[in-house]
């Protein structure tokens, strides 16, 4: 008799159906697979969960349903049935989420282990390679390791070059920005200097005009005073001169010139002489 014929018996078939919960029909067999036991949990947990001060787990749907039946006497109450279904959904969702989290944790661990593995050696297959297994000599392995090391050095050099090029670009960009700022500041200072020089020239021009105007006013006043002082003197000279007397005219001509109140000599114009 073959081995599979010896194992394919009625007892084993019934045991397989019982393990899947099909015969006899039992949902707890499947739900137990989603119940993740916490570290340190033991037989004492079940007894402690029955106490009044213990907290029921969301995954322990059977105990939650039993406690609900003890509290609610009317099992046909729609609210009680709705609450029972809510407890069941929460229990199933929590179990699925815990199972998914456990799977993601294992996947993360495997990914970290995979990343720590070394890279494949760049072994060069022969030209007549047709997919069969190849046994590499120690010399070939050494050459492949040297090539791999050289490739890693080239990659590191390229990475350093990229970093250096990025640094140079940043420095050039910063130097350009500084130059633009310096030119802008120089233009602003030159504009301020031009405005100050323009204001200074305008002030000097106004001062020069004021001086010229004051000089003209002073000269005009002086001429008017001289003219006013010369008129009485000429009248007195004409009145004192007798008619037909040459000596008197000579004496009048030799008379001293008029003076101002301040003792300055007044020079008469030609028409008053």
Query: Is 106 a residue whose pLDDT tops 80?
Result: yes
Task: Between 174 and 244, name the one with better pLDDT.
Answer: 174
Comparing CA positions, the residue from 250, 221, 257 lying closest to residue 236 is 257
pLDDT single digits (tens) 24-76: 777 787 777 776 554 444 444 444 444 454 555 655 677 777 777 777 777 67
**Taking the domains of the chain in order of start, what are their residue ranges?**
3-35+57-115, 147-211
pLDDT single digits (tens) 158-189: 999 999 999 999 999 999 999 999 999 999 99
CA 72 to chain centre: 61
Length of the chain: 273
pLDDT single digits (tens) 212-242: 888 888 888 787 878 777 776 655 555 544 5
Comparing CA positions, the residue from 29, 18, 20 lying closest to residue 62 is 29
At 49, give phi and psi (nearest 5°).
-70, -20
Using CA atoms, how far residue 17 sits from 10, 20, 28, 226, in Å, is 11, 5, 14, 148
């Amino acid at each position: 008799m073959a081995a599979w014929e010896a194992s394919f018996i009625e007892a084993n078939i019934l045991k397989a159906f019982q393990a899947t919960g099909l015969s006899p029909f039992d949902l707890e067999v499947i739900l137990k697979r989603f119940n993740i036991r916490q570290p340190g949990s033991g037989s004492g947990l079940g007894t402690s969960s029955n106490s009044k001060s213990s907290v029921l787990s969301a995954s322990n749907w059977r105990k939650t349903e039993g406690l609900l039946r003890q509290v609610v006497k009317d099992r046909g109450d729609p609210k009680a049935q709705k609450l029972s279904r809510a407890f069941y959904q929460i229990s199933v969702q929590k179990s699925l989420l815990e199972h998914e989290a456990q799977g993601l944790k294992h996947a993360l661990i495997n990914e970290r282990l995979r990343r720590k593995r070394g890279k494949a050696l760049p072994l060069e297959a022969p030209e007549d390679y047709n997919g069969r297994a190849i046994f590499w000599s120690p010399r070939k392995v050494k050459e492949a390791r040297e090539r791999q090391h050289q490739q890693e050095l080239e990659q590191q050099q390229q990475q350093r070059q990229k970093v250096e090029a990025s640094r140079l670009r940043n420095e050039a960009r910063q130097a350009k920005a500084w130059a633009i700022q310096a030119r802008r500041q120089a233009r602003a200072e030159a504009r301020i200097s031009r405005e100050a020089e323009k204001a200074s020239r305008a002030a000097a021009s106004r001062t020069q005009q004021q001086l010229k105007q004051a000089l003209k006013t002073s000269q005009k006043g002086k001429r008017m005073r001289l003219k006013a002082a010369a008129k009485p003197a000429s009248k007195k000279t004409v009145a004192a001169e007798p008619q037909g007397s040459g000596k008197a005219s000579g004496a009048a001509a030799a008379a001293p010139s008029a003076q101002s109140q301040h003792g300055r000599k007044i020079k008469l114009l030609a028409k008053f002489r």
